[in-house]
Amino acid sequence: MSPEEVRAGASLAGVFGLRMLGLFFILPVFAVHAAGIRGGDNLTLVGIALGAYGLAQGILQIPFGLASDRWGRKPVLYAGLAIFAAGSFLGVIADDIWTAIAARVLQGAGAISSVAMALAADLTREQHRTKVMAMIGSMIGFMFALSLVAAPLLYRAIGMDGLFALTGLLCLAAMAVVKLLVPEPPAPRARSSAAGSTRAAVLDPELLRLNAGILVLHVVLYAMFVVVPPWLVEEGLALPEHWKLYLPVVLASFVVMVPAVLYADRRNRPKPVLVGAVALLLAVEALLGLLHGGIAAIAALMFAFFVAFNVLEALLPSLVSRLAPAEGRGVAIGVYNTTQTLGVFFGGLLGGWVAGHHGATGVFVVCAVLVAVWLGVAAGMRPLPRIGQRDAESGVVR
């Protein structure tokens, strides 16, 4: 990788990290916090509050991607981050479930994930794109791990309003990173040249296969976190002590994840790695559904879950960026992020509804069924062309 590519990957990973850290701060503690606010006894509404930002993101990812294809990546990044910060500051005054839902919706309206990922693809050559996407995915995973450790401690120190305020400040810091550290992208292409590529980005069967995968992955993640934190409390692990479980399992999962991602990248063998990770995820959900308790057993299964999750979070966006046409890359990644964030919304909604009617076991069973369907879809994935082959065939020199 060139110094410019390293700088692009590191700075955009920082943007993602600052933004996602704020989002993740809410995830481990909100289901417990909600019991003490007006309307928080309704688990369906709690699930909606957890996933509400995903609905707004799902609606706006493609428009943000289209806007960045036409007017440039950085201006759209600034606008989205500003909206996200506004939602975070609204959350500071959220003392009932409906205001919390409104804050999460406004956070989600800052739908910049597709724009940032398209910018990462613009600034890197195809043969290094998996590395850059892995940098971003690893940063997201690291921030997720950090939030699992820090959120319960911060919640005890500054409360939920303090967590929302901190989220807004982190978002403002991300805007500064975009201004000062992210390299300038190439000029946006003419709109007319991107029309055919936009259709291809939306309808390509292999891209649709990847989009279905990221949808299921985030449905499972958010449905699980409706029930896992209260489950750990029931098992005798107080909320401020949850980091003692999360920290070692997430850090260990990173160690295991790296060789798998490197193998997929260097050998151009993403399919077996992807299918293997989905199969592991299926095994985890099935075993969680059969498990009746025990901190050690929960920790072991959460370790396996995070191995699969981190591999898939790194692999899926790199595959989308490789398969997407260059002129429609913002749209293709917008579609991908739309399905991802709709997974957040429906995961929270589904997890809350199923937990309210069938308990935690019901949530894990539903997740296992969804992952089994994904495994069947992933098994039909076609082998990818060699790195650089698509560019060579189109006459583009990388």
- What is the residue-wise DSSP string for 204-264? -HHHHHHHHHHHHHHHHHHHHHHHHHHHHHHTT--GGGTHHHHHHHHHHHHHHHHHHHHHH
> Which of 206, 216, 178 lies closest to 77 in space, CA to CA?
178
**Residue 386's pLDDT is what?**
59
**Residue 398's pLDDT is what?**
34
The token pair at 123 is: 């600034």
Which amino acid, one-letter code, is at 53? Y
**Residue 259's pLDDT is what?**
86
The token pair at 360 is: 């935690």
Residues of the chain with pLDDT under 70: 126-130, 186-202, 325-330, 384-398
3-state secondary structure of 48: helix
Round to whole Å and give the CA distance between 351 and 223. Answer: 4
Round to whole Å and give the CA distance between 296 and 41. Answer: 29
The radius of gyration of the chain's CA atoms, rounded to the nearest angstrom, is 20
Domain edges within the chain:
3-383
**Residue 328's pLDDT is what?**
64
**Residue 196's pLDDT is what?**
53
Does this model's pTM top 0.75?
Answer: no
- Helix-, strand-, coil-residue percentages of the chain, each rounded to 5: 85, 0, 15
- Residues paired with 96 in a beta bridge: 38
Could you tell me the fold of the domain covering 3-383? Growth Hormone; Chain: A; (1.20.1250)
3-state secondary structure of 38: strand
**Residue 191's pLDDT is what?**
46
